[in-house]
Amino acid sequence: MKKYINRLGFKITFLLGIVISISACKKDDQPKAAARSFKPSDVKVSASATSAKLTWTAPLMSAGKALKYSIDFSTDSLFSSIKYSTTSDTTGISVTEDNLSVRTKYFARVKANATETQPESKYLVSSSFQLTGIQLFLPVRDSEIKETGITLRYTPTVGLTSIVLTPSTGNAITATLSTGDAAAGLKAITGLTAGIKYNAELFAGTKSKGITTFTTQMPTSYTTVISATDDLAATIAAATNGAVIGLNPGTYNLTAATTFITQKTITLKSTSGNATDTKINYKEFDLEGTGAGLTLSGLELDGTPGASPYFINLIGSQTNNASAATFTNLVIDNCIAHGSTTAFLRGDRGGAAKDFKITGITVNNSIVYDMGANGTSTYYTFNITKLQFNTLTVSKSTFYNCGPGLVLTSTAFVGDQTPTVLISYSTINAFGGSAKYALLDANTNPINFSIQNSILANTPRAGTVNAAAIRGTGAGSSITISNTNYFNLNSALTGGTALTFGTATLSVTQQQNLGWTASTTDFTLPVGSTLRTSSTTGTAIGDPRWAF
């Protein structure tokens, strides 16, 4: 009997020990983590240029309780480095550029703080967000980017204090803005390094007010540099292939005779990079024979004093204009060209199709006007029929009072490849005449032809044009007009009909009449115009210079 009692007592003691252990475990586990019902939920972030609103849903068990929340902001989702912390007694908090840096990705986390009866909750982490920042910088003008300097433009604003320029390599430069600079809306900055990408940030005190990027021009290695008192014609004649001739500011005279660029490719470039202070009065530039090519940069080119018939003329040789020739490239960059009565470019002199060949024709950041007798010439602005070319590119440029049509490449032939014509971010006004196709005549030749982000207005300049602005029926052609505004495109000055666009595909086009006439020379877009944000990149359409 005694043995039985002892065994029973042992079992009871053992069972009591288990119960005590279980109770102790439950008591130890309780404070280790808050109940799920005490954790905030559904955290959301709504961000704008200079502020962000963080909201969340209160814990389920918070009814009737005065809770406080702790909120942290970090640039990484693991919160290894806290950039800003705050608290709130509501289910929301706002932060501004006073608390967080603009254009920086952040994460936020929030937790309910401990109460007398409940330990703190676990953190709830938001998705990433950033303050987009105010953008007061205006687009950078290509012509204002120099080798060692830049002119930056911005919306005139009281309180702007500095621009910090950070190069891809090297030390940042700070340009202080005076009260006058802030009111003027532009700052010329020197002392930069050629061929380097810079990030520029605009500040009012410590607050960012804009950011932009640009790359300074590559350094120019001039073969020779001359002044207006020197003989430019003799310098060109003596130049070797690949020569870069620098022109100091002044006016140069090439009106006595045609300037021949014979079987060599050369560059004429202003040392200032400013077309308004370096001018050439010309009669005609002729690219002569295989290997001939020309780059004109930062120049005003005036054909009026020399009674110029053509601005650029492609010839085989002086003794036989039609002899076959393969040219290199033609580049017109950051120039002002005007005053040729027949055409901007003639390239149709080859005896047969494909006798003349050229790799590329480029017009960039330039103004061209009064070419082709204001539409009464019979030669197109780019009169390049029979010429085999790879690319014709017109960008960020303005053409007005020009030829009877824009591009002529109608002589039928099978080229080595389909040529591409791209007109982008350009303004073309007061053109067309002589019963031509106003924009393109490719006839049955295959062509890739595209007008993008541009403005076309006032056709014809004189007489009539074909009722279709485009002729291009070649198999495999791609002809498109997109993100472009056009108005007053008619078949005749009076009594005509609105032009059609032949085989072209139109998309995102507009027909806003800006009030321009054939005599308009200032194409500035109206303040607040939707055309200032209608491009494929959300910027202005047309030549960018007219959006300032």
Question: What does the pLDDT look like over 249-266, one tens digit per residue?
Answer: 999 999 999 999 999 999
Sign, Cα dihedral of 226, 229, 233, 237: negative
Q: Calculate what percentage of the chain has a pLDDT beyond 90.
A: 85
Assess whether the previous peptide bond of 219 is cis (omega < 30° from 0): no
pLDDT band at 548 (very low <50, low <70, confident <90, very high): confident
pLDDT band at 418 (very low <50, low <70, confident <90, very high): very high
Task: List the one residue out of 431, 504, 510, 442 whose CA is nearest residue 465.
Answer: 431
In this predicted structure, what is the pLDDT of residue 32? Answer: 41
In this predicted structure, what is the pLDDT of residue 36? Answer: 52
Q: What is the mean pLDDT of residues 523-535?
A: 95
CA distance 261 to 217: 26
Of the listed ranges 18-22, 421-425, 531-535, the one predicted with least confidence: 18-22
Q: What is the mean pLDDT of residues 26-48?
A: 65
pLDDT in tens, 320-341: 999 999 999 999 999 999 999 9
In this predicted structure, what is the pLDDT of residue 23? Answer: 44
Q: What is the mean pLDDT of residues 401-429?
A: 96
DSSP string of 2-27?
Answer: HHHHHHHHHHHHHHHHHHHHHHHHHH
In this predicted structure, what is the pLDDT of residue 185? Answer: 95
CA distance 530 to 508: 13
30 pLDDT above the threshold of 80: no
CA 413 to mean position of chain CA atoms: 36
Compare 66 and 479 and report the one with higher pLDDT.
Answer: 479
280 pLDDT above the threshold of 70: yes
In this predicted structure, what is the pLDDT of residue 12? Answer: 44
Residue 546 near residue 524, CB atoms below 8 Å = yes
Residue 170: CB atoms within 10 A of its CB come to 11
Question: Across the chain, what does the average pLDDT equal?
Answer: 92
CA distance 379 to 371: 10
3 pLDDT above the threshold of 50: no
Q: What is the mean pLDDT of residues 183-187?
A: 96
Q: What is the mean pLDDT of residues 437-466?
A: 97
Strands 162-167 and 173-176: antiparallel
Compare 9 and 335 and report the one with higher pLDDT.
Answer: 335
In this predicted structure, what is the pLDDT of residue 295? Answer: 98
CA distance 29 to 198: 58
pLDDT band at 7 (very low <50, low <70, confident <90, very high): low
Q: What is the mean pLDDT of residues 36-45?
A: 80
In this predicted structure, what is the pLDDT of residue 28? Answer: 39
Structure tokens at 499: 């032009």
CA 72 to mean position of chain CA atoms: 38
Q: What is the mean pLDDT of residues 68-83?
A: 96
Q: What is the DSSP letter of 492?
A: B
pLDDT in tens, 197-249: 999 999 999 999 999 999 999 999 999 999 999 999 999 999 999 999 999 99
- Exposed e or buried b per residue across 452-487, where buried means at least 16 C-beta atoms within 10 angstroms of its C-beta: bbbbbbbbbbbebbbbbbbbbeeeebebebbbbbbb
Tell the residue number behind the tokens 């409940």, with chain if given: 118
